[in-house]
Amino acid sequence: MQVKVKFLGGAKTVTGSRYLLELDHQKILVDCGLFQGLKEFRLRNWESFPIDPKSIDLVILTHAHIDHSGYLPKLVKEGFSGPIYCTYATDELVRILLLDAGKLQEEEAAYAQRKGYSSHEKPMPLYTIEDVEKVFPFLKPVDMNEEIQLNEKVNITFFNAGHILGAAIVKMKVKGENQEKKIVFSGDLGRYHDPIFHAPARIPFADVLFMESTYGNRSQKEQKPVDELARAIRETYRNGGVAIIPAFAVGRTQMILYYLHYLQQKGNIPDIPIYVDSPMAIDVTKLYKKYTEYHRLGPLLEEEGANPFLHKNLHYYQTQEASMSLNAIRGDAIIISASGMATGGRILHHLYNRLPREQDSIIFVGYQAEGTRGRRLLEGESTSRMYGVEVPVKSKIYYIEGLSAHADQEELMEWAEGFASKPKMTFLIHGEKEASETLSQKLTEILQWNTIVPEYMESFSLFEGI
Ligand SMILES: [Zn+2]
């Protein structure tokens, strides 16, 4: 048997994760992400898929984040009709996320049409909510830690990756005519001391490893993110302003809610209302209650006053009208809204309203990719273009480092050290060029691993004649 890989995304970038494995004539796609951020990347979503989606036999999904799952509706629309394997929590989360993505696509196309600023005659969404619903029958949820036989040549097992609810590391066993080989995809790896999620599972063996490297060049050891978050909120409160926290509704929002509750309980930040402005947050929070084995919060969710997702200061705002009504609040409040990189969604109207106000603040709590509005605001742009208008940036902008759901450089190295023998080959993926290359060097210098930082659309032969 011959095994090849082709990098259809997630190479020298953190978005568009899609890795195509070819086992003789069998085609397996690991993750099926949307490109986000820089226009150069986003345009790839509109190009025809590099191979005929009909020819793909199955998809394996490491977790629900859109940069790993958001291309699925387009893949199905273009003829893919095989199973999509994922964990049970991912199955439920990805439905929520894809429906939201479909809605966003529809809204953006309608908006572009109204404003007439699209270069297309009639702006079309990449996919619609209807397209999203056609993905659901193909989802095949399976248990974590259980070996699943996909066909006579391939077995897979999902192991806990931390990161977000249901996120998994994938171990694949490939049976050739003579030999069996192990291929491991790290997916996105979580932290070792996260208050919500368990540390990523240790995987002792891999012949070939695909390892994420988002923070391959960054250490978060020296950071005191929770103290910094508290300071930013106290400063905003003293200025009589409102703190806006752009955060993704899945994972990041729950993490922030955990810390805000903790800080309010300890009296480190004022006892002010917290508004979660998201149509998805309630559904996602329910999933935390359903899948207690996937995280550490279990008992807290049952206890009155201890539940960070349900307490007197916390208000969930679901409808668009409720969301708009938050613009009238003049001070003493915290508003959490998506998207986390301020590229779209409800956060835009909050920024439009708050950026010109000196007393308000925008607190970024997560990684801001190249090309996003979040990154530009952090780099100090003096105006931000929104709804066709240049909005002046007067509010205070904070960046809290170290609250990431991604392992940092030390944690990535710690995970790598968990291998009992070194993988014969390791591909560093899901990282900007410098991050992947730095981790690649570290793995080579410290652990003497063979590493490659692949290019977009590059192919490699993994095994021949096995
Ligand atoms: Zn992720």
Ligand 1: centre distance to CA 187 (Å)? 8
Give DSSP secondary structure letters for 289-350: HH-GGGSS-GGGGGSTTT-TTSSTTEEEE-SHHHHHHGGG--SSEEEEES-TTSSSSTHHHH
Ligand 1: centre distance to CA 117 (Å)? 32
Query: Is the peptide bond between 339 and the residue preceding it cis, with omega within 30 degrees of 0?
Result: yes
Q: Is the pLDDT of residue 167 over 90?
A: yes
Eight-state DSSP code of residue 201 = P
Ligand 1: centre distance to CA 158 (Å)? 15
| Residue written as token pair 């949307």 | 34
Ligand 1: centre distance to CA 69 (Å)? 10
Ligand 1: centre distance to CA 185 (Å)? 13
pLDDT category of residue 120 using cuts at 50, 70 and 90: low
Ligand 1: centre distance to CA 178 (Å)? 36
* Residues 274-323 pLDDT 10s: 999 998 888 998 899 999 999 999 888 888 788 999 999 999 999 999 99
* Furthest-apart CA atoms within the chain: distance in Å: 70
Is residue 252 within 8 Å of 365, Cβ to Cβ? yes
SS3 58: strand
Q: Is the pLDDT of residue 223 over 80?
A: no
Ligand 1: centre distance to CA 16 (Å)? 11
- The one-letter amino acid code at 162 reads G
| Residue written as token pair 């699925």 | 72
Ligand 1: centre distance to CA 164 (Å)? 7
pLDDT category of residue 198 using cuts at 50, 70 and 90: very high
Ligand 1: centre distance to CA 188 (Å)? 5
Between 369 and 337, the more confident residue is 337
SS3 434: helix
Tokens read off for 452: 């490659």
Ligand 1: centre distance to CA 355 (Å)? 28
Ligand 1: centre distance to CA 36 (Å)? 13
Tokens read off for 271: 């006892």
* Residues 252-280 pLDDT 10s: 999 999 999 999 999 999 999 999 999 88
Mean pLDDT, all residues of the chain: 94
Ligand 1: centre distance to CA 65 (Å)? 5
**Residue 283 CA from chain centroid, whole number:** 17
Quick one: pLDDT at residue 460? 98
- Mean pLDDT check: name the lowest of 102-111, 175-184, 334-343, 377-386: 102-111
Ligand 1: centre distance to CA 390 (Å)? 31
Ligand 1: centre distance to CA 63 (Å)? 7
Quick one: pLDDT at residue 107? 85
Ligand 1: centre distance to CA 323 (Å)? 26
